[in-house]
Each structure stands twice: as C-alpha cells, then as structure tokens.
Structure 1
Amino acid sequence: MALNLVSGITEQLGSIIASEFTLTASVKEEIPKLERKFRTIQAVLDDAEKRQVKEKAVKLWLDKLKDVSYEMDDVLDEWNTAMIKAAIAKEEEEEEEAETSTAKKRKMRLSKRERCTGLN
C-alpha cells in the first residue's frame, strides 16, 4: 500500500528531477544520490509494511505517510501541470513571434515592390 504510493511519487519526482536537472551541470552527480535515497526509503517502507501488523505505532506512521504521500502527489501533479502550461505558453509565444516576423517580412517585400514598380 504505502510502497505503491511512494513508488508513484518516486517516478514523478524522478521525471521532474530529470527535466529540471538537465538545466544544471550537476545532473550526473545528483540523480544517483537521489536514486540511492529513494531505494533506502523503499527498503524502510518494505520493513514497515511487515511490522505494521504487530506494531500499532508503525501502522499509525504508515497511515500518516499515506496522507503525506497523497499531498505530495497533488503537489507534484500541480507542478507538472504548471510546467506543461509554461512550456505551451512559451511555444505559443515563439509561434506568435515567428508569425509577426513573417508578416513584417511580407510587408517589407510588398513595400519594396511598390517602390520598384512605382505603385504607392
């Protein structure tokens, strides 16, 4: 249960981290460190899943972790959505700039033709 939640979050974090770290030079150093940390977290969760049957404190901890995991999942979804929206907005802006530039070039060509032919 908790392992599945954390695995999903781990995948999302990995995706976000990979896309964000491509912007920095330390990507090759940071990703392996984070992967090791997530493997450690998964090992602890495996152990806790087994212990929760006998230990109420572990069960409570896993329940809290479940709640936090859902919250993290929501935050990551919001982050991914914001990143996608930003990328789309940037693409639209670039397309608009390209269209404006093309329209200006056409206008300049027409203007040159008019001057050359004496049509005003």
Structure 2
Amino acid sequence: MSRIFYLAFGAAAGVVVVRQAAKAAAALTPTSLAGSLVQSIQEFLADVREAAAEREEEIRGALGLDRDPDDDPPGISGRPADAGAGAAGPAVTGAAVTGAGTAGYPDDLDDAERTMRLVPGARRP
C-alpha cells in the first residue's frame, strides 16, 4: 500500500514541477521579455510626463504666467490706475511682479532669487 502512495505522490509532484517549469520557460521567451520591457518603458514614460506636467504647472504658477492681467489691480500690470480697458500700457516688469508678492514669495525677493528657488541646482550670479 505504501508503494502505491509514493508512486502517486511522485507522479503528482512530477506533474506540478513540469507545469511550473513550463510557465517559467514561457515567461522567459524573447516575446514575453520584450512585451514586459515595452510595458515597463511605457509606464516609466507616463510617470515622467505626469511629473513634468506637475512641475511645469508649479513653475508657471510661481512665475505668474497663468494669471489673467485683467484681474490685476491697477498699477501692478503696468497700467496706470486711471487707464481704461482699451489703453495699452508697458509690459509687466520684474519690479511690478516683485511688488505683487506672487506665488507666496516675500515681496523683498528679486527675480533672480525667485529663479534660484525654482530651479534646482541653480547658482547665484
């Protein structure tokens, strides 16, 4: 009786080992490896694009590039307080932006200092 048990156990173990080896061999084929490599690269590129978009939004907000000039109080956008909507004023200067305290930065920071805080690894001039 014990011989039949060991014979059946050995046969079952052999089937399990052969099936696991076949799965491992199928996973290591060039087609399978190339597919997983392509998928990994696509996931990496999607992560990079997402991080770049977040960083770009952060920088644009800090520099005030997304704000609407019509929403600025008079004097900040370079227009005099009594200028009408059709009057063309000078472009926004660094002094006007600095005085506005944009993006939560203190008013005493100049444009170079803001850039230093936005760009990792930047050096002082």
TM bucket, shorter chain: 0.3 to 0.5
TM-score if structure 1 supplies the norm length? 0.35
TM-score normalised by structure 2 residue count: 0.34
Name the structure where helix makes up a greater proportion of residues.
Answer: 1
